[in-house]
Amino acid sequence: MNSSDKYSKYALCREMLETPDVIRSLNIPDLELYAGALKRAGKAMLTGEGSSRIFPAKRAISESLKAAEPFGFVTEGATQAMDYPLDAYAVFGASNSGRTKELVRLFDKLKKEGHKDLFGVTAASDSTVESYSRSTYVLNCGKEDAVAATKSVAEQALFYDALRAAASGRSLTGLDACADAVEKALTMEIDPEVTSLLAGAGMIYFAGRNNGVAEELTLKTNEITRKKSDFLEGTYGAHGIEEVMSSDDVLVVIDPFEEEEQKFLECLTEGVGIKIISVGTRKSSFAHSVVIPDAGDLQNYVELAAGWNLLVETGLALQIDLDKPVRARKVGNEFIPS
């Protein structure tokens, strides 16, 4: 993907290519306010729907556990979160539009119960979510015209990264290097054979760690390529799913566990005939490896960008209008004031 007319005529591609600058220019007013609420509570519910939750929240949980931070992060969709007593949690609700029905309903319930630490993360100022929140971070990335959220997903995740860092008494670093790596992943040339495999797949599976990357790309596959897709968490791909797979399916593994590669080859390639593509910083033992730059603790952003690149090339190979899905909507379930 690059800035040529082939890509730039689509808002989706333009917004993807704006992501490196979103990363470089991250600036969060009132960060200490959010971090102070997290430190007082010691735990936070990160909620929202779809892309506003999958990658931002699950990356935060995974990275916090890896760093042995003292905070307890959990995530749940806003409707199921209504089942839980959240009075002891700082609650962060992400919604690009700021008017997602499920999140508004949760915040309304919590506000009526007297919850003081409700915080919004939106791309729209003066939104419904903001009216319920103690404070709201309005994304700097600007409005997205494409239905599939991209640059906003990255900035929502960066907000949680900065929140974790500030609550731990440190600053978020490595943004420039991450932005450079993301740019390379977005603009690297994809092997035409890889694109052909994805375009011809009956089903596209994604496997990888439960850090939101592979799961978010599963959703983007539906929106961008209009193909059916599924997320196989961790090593789930070697634990029975092969019973219903077909030889025309394709599996994309994000940052594969090296010690599990042989089992995937046995179960899926030898057992079913599935072609496997890896995305990571090293060449894997699978038939196709998409090798990307290493951005250290911020590597997930590079993986996500590489996945976007794969999906754009696949969508274009299928002659799909990337900006105009048939059924998907920008605001999935919009709150309409009565």
Using CA atoms, how far apart are residues 45 and 75, in angstroms rounded to an integer?
Answer: 6
Q: Which residues contact 160 (CB under 8 A, 6 or more apart)?
A: 46, 56, 57, 59, 60, 92
Using CA atoms, how far apart are residues 53 and 77, in angstroms rounded to an integer?
Answer: 8
Distance between terminal CA atoms of the chain?
A: 44
Per DSSP, the residues of 238-257 read GTTGGGG--TT-EEEEES--
Using CA atoms, how far apart are residues 265 and 99, in angstroms rounded to an integer?
Answer: 45
- Are the C-beta atoms of 152 and 158 separated by less than 8 Å? no
Print pLDDT tens along the chain (338 aa): 998 999 999 999 999 999 999 999 999 999 999 999 999 999 999 999 999 999 999 999 999 999 999 999 999 999 999 999 999 999 999 999 999 999 999 999 999 999 999 999 999 999 999 999 999 999 999 989 998 999 999 999 999 999 999 999 999 999 999 999 999 999 999 999 999 999 999 999 999 999 999 999 999 999 999 999 999 998 898 888 999 999 999 999 999 999 999 999 999 999 999 999 999 999 999 999 999 999 999 999 999 999 999 999 999 999 999 998 766 655 666 656 66
Domains and CATH numbers, the chain: 5-174 (3.40.50.10490), 189-291 (3.40.50.10490)
Write down the pTM of the prediction: 0.96
Per-residue buried b or exposed e for 17-56, using 16+ beta carbons within 10 Å of the residue's own CB: bbbbebbeebebeebeebbebbbebeebbbbbbbbbbbbb
